[in-house]
């Protein structure tokens, strides 16, 4: 059997944890399986590297950031290879150049395009345990890129797809996917099985237990995932196309603080203005999420929308540079907002979901700034300071429906 295992940063944070992971790798290797391991940077290394960069230059280029951040993953794989060597087992660490993991050229948010399986396969044939750096790739300029925060999950799933692996296991610091972040909602329950579609929504809406693109790749190539703890032997959560268990109304609650709101006030109320605004943002690679347009009054209207907080500065620049063209009276920015969502495939045909969500927020005295819905989710925008309270209130409101 060929098994791909991915261990996150906290799972390899220090010497003791490195050896704990080494033992878990060996459990399968000793049974005769081929084992490929994808690792993240140890503990808070990535955050520390970001802080270090900002000390030198508050606004570093994305290319140089990628060059710096990818060193974290390189440390992890080499240290793990040393631990395995020390235990008497053959291991080899490989980075994105050595494997040939090709990505698009967008620094700090690249997408994997192709993974060459040749080198990994030949190392496996020699009975090596293969340790691969997560989160990184190489673009067509032969520059190193990163896949976005949390991207090691995507590396693991893409490698599992490229190698046609029999199993892909994502080991982390909780026992699986829960009905909400168990660190925020104490009553959150572990989910045994979840579909790709629901997991993709949860991950995209802020449940960082899996990188959202890892779920996209898993769905595209039919890679069944298991999310489980690196510290206990609990069963974990299976992520797959269809679940055997009966459909519940909702599968989970997610919160996302990487959100900012922009309000463009007093735009001329005529055709083409929304197109002009959003095409400008799209041309600059700025993703827009919730959009709200007011009713036109006295020949003008307002358009508010949200963007990821980490691109607010970029969005500000694009809008301010084009204020004249947009004919807007003013623009307001708010980076103290957050988005809280409920997700569930069962909600499409159930009209009670929105009202139950709003009632839960009302009972806790939490104000809603914006609302957005789709077939399988409802999101609200609220004050950032209310995030945890809102997640708990909504989770409590839906507790019999999970
Ligand atoms: P790793 O370093 O292993 O990649 P992450 O910190 O990226 O780990 O993701 C695991 C964390 O995701 C958990 O510690 C938990 O706080 C958080 N999390 C958010 N939402 C959920 C959820 N629905 N289920 C489980 N964990 C969640
Ligand atoms: N080390 C990277 C991060 O902290 C990638 C990952 O952990 O998946 O975002
Ligand atoms: Mg992660």
Q: What is the pLDDT of residues 304-325, one digit of tens each?
A: 999 999 999 999 999 999 988 8
Instruction: Indicate which ligand has the atom closest to the C-alpha of 172.
Output: 1
Query: Hunting for tokens 């704990």 — which residue is that?
Result: 20
CA-to-CA dists, residue 49 to 5, 340, 370, 383, angstroms: 25, 29, 35, 29
Q: From CA 369, how far away is CA 21, in angstroms rounded?
A: 44
Query: Given this model, what pLDDT does residue 244 score?
Result: 74
pLDDT given at position 325: 86
Residue owning the nearest CA to atom 4 of ligand 1: 8
pLDDT tens digit sequence for 9-58: 999 999 999 999 999 999 999 999 999 999 999 999 999 999 999 999 99
Q: Are 308 and 316 in contact (CB under 8 A)?
A: no
From atom 15 of ligand 1, which residue's Cα is the shortest distance away? Answer: 181
Closest to 97 measured CA to CA, from 61, 125, 67: 67
Q: How far is CA 120 from CA 31, 102, 265, 319, in A?
A: 19, 15, 55, 46
Does the pLDDT at position 246 exceed 80?
A: no
Domain definitions of the chain by residue range? 2-173, 264-326
Residue 322: partners with Cβ closer than 8 Å, 6 or more residues away: 280
Q: How confident is the model at residue 249 (pLDDT cuts 50, 70, 90)?
A: confident
Give me the mean pLDDT over the 324-329 stretch.
87
Give Cβ neighbours of residue 226 (< 8 Å, ≥ 6 apart): 167, 168, 169, 170, 236, 237, 238, 239
pLDDT of residue 247: 66
The answer to whether 127 and 90 have CB atoms below 8 angstroms apart is: yes
Question: Ligand 3 centre and the CA of 43: distance in Å?
Answer: 11
State which of 76, 172, 377 you would mutate to test the pocket of ligand 1, scoring each by most atoms of that ligand within 8 A of its C-beta.
172
pLDDT reported for residue 66: 98
Candidate of 5, 9, 37 to mutate for ligand 2, largest count of ligand atoms within 8 Å of Cβ: 9
Ligand 1 pocket member 252 (CB < 6 A): yes
Distance of CA 12 to the CA centre of its chain: 19
Question: What is the C-alpha to C-alpha distance for residues 36 and 194, in angstroms, rounded to an integer?
Answer: 25
Q: Reply yes or no on whether the pLDDT at 372 is more than 80.
A: yes
Cα–Cα dist 137/213, whole Å: 14
d(CA 75, ligand 1 centre) in Å: 22
Q: Report which DSSP code applies to 364.
A: T
The CB of 151 under 6 Å from ligand 2? The reply is yes
362 Ramachandran zone, left/alpha/beta (phi>0; psi -120 to 50): alpha
Tally of helices (H runs) and strands (E runs) in the chain:
13, 20
CA distance 379 to 339: 6
**Contacts with 108 (C-beta within 8 Å, 6 or more apart), sequence order:** 62, 65, 66, 145, 146, 148
**Nearest listed ligand to the Cα of residue 45:** 2
Ligand 2 atom at minimal distance to the Cα of residue 151: 8
For residue 231, pLDDT over 90 is answered with yes
Q: Is 152 in the pocket of ligand 2 (CB under 6 A)?
A: yes
- Residue 125 exposed, middle or buried by CB count within 10 Å (0-12, 13-18, 19+): exposed
Q: What is the pLDDT of residues 268-283, one digit of tens each?
A: 999 999 999 999 999 9
For residue 230, give the ligand nearest its CA: 1
Closest among 135, 142, 138 to 69, alpha carbons compared: 135
| CATH class of the 2-173 domain in this structure | alpha beta
CA of 359 to the centre of ligand 3 (A): 32
Residues 6+ positions from 271 with CB-CB distance below 8 Å = none
Which residue has its alpha carbon closest to ligand 1 atom 27?
Answer: 181
In CATH terms, the fold of domain 264-326 is: Alpha-Beta Plaits (3.30.70)
Model pLDDT, residue 20: 98
Matching residue, tokens 């925020």: 184
**What pTM, to 2 d.p., does this model score?**
0.94
Closest residue by Cα to atom 10, ligand 1, is 209
Q: What is the Rg, in whole angstroms, of the alpha carbon atoms belonging to the chain? A: 23
CB burial readout 127-139, b (16+ within 10 A) else e: ebbbbbbbbbbbb
In the predicted structure, residue 350 carries a pLDDT above the cut 90: no
Q: Quote the percentage of the chain above a pLDDT of 70.
A: 99
Alpha-carbon distance of 347 to 342, in angstroms, equals 10
Mutate to test the pocket of ligand 2, among 136, 152, 156, 209 (most ligand atoms within 8 A of CB): 152
CA of 399 to the centre of ligand 3 (A): 26
Alpha-carbon distance 111 to 159, whole Å?
13
Please tell me the distance between residue 389's alpha carbon and the centre of ligand 1 in angstroms. 18
Q: Which ligand lies nearest to the CA atom of residue 134 in the structure?
A: 2
Q: Within 105-151, where are the H helices?
A: 118-125
């Amino acid at each position: 059997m060929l098994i791909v295992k991915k261990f996150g940063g906290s799972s390899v944070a220090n010497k003791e944890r490195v050896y704990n992971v080494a033992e878990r790798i060996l459990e399968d290797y000793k049974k005769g399986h081929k084992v490929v391991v994808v690792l993240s940077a140890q503990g808070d290394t990535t955050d520390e590297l970001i802080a270090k960069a900002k000390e030198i230059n508050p606004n570093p280029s994305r290319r140089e950031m990628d060059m710096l951040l990818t060193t974290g993953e390189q440390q992890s794989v080499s240290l793990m290879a040393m631990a395995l060597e020390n235990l008497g087992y053959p291991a080899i660490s490989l980075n994105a150049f050595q494997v040939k993991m090709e990505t698009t050229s967008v620094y700090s948010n690249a997408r994997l395009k192709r993974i060459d399986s040749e080198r990994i396969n030949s190392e496996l044939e020699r009975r090596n345990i293969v340790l691969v750096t997560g989160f990184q790739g190489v673009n067509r300029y032969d520059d190193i890129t990163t896949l976005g925060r949390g991207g090691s999950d995507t590396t693991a799933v893409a490698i599992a797809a490229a190698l046609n692996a029999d199993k892909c296991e994502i080991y982390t610091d909780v026992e699986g996917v829960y009905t909400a972040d168990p660190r925020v909602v104490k009553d959150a329950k572990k989910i045994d099985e979840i579909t790709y579609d629901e997991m993709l929504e949860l991950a995209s809406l802020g449940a960082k237990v899996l990188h959202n693109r890892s779920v996209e790749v898993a769905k595209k190539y039919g890679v069944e995932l298991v999310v489980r703890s690196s510290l206990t032997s609990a069963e974990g959560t299976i992520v797959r196309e269809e679940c055997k268990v009966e459909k519940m109304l909702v599968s989970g609650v997610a919160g996302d603080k990487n959100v900012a709101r922009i309000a463009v006030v007093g735009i001329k109320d005529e055709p083409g203005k929304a197109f002009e605004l959003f095409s400008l943002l799209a041309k600059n690679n700025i993703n827009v999420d919730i959009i709200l347009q007011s009713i036109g009054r006295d020949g003008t209207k307002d358009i508010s929308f949200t963007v990821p907080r980490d691109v607010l500065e970029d969005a500000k620049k694009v809008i301010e540079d084009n204020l004249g063209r947009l004919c807007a009276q003013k623009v307001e920015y708010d980076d103290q907002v957050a988005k809280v969502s409920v997700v569930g495939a069962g909600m499409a045909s159930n009209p009670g979901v929105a009202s139950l969500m709003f009632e839960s927020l009302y009972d806790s005295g939490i104000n809603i700034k914006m609302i957005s819905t789709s077939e399988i989710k409802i999101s609200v925008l609220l004050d950032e300071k209310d995030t945890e309270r809102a997640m708990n209130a909504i989770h409590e409101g839906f507790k019999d429906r999970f």
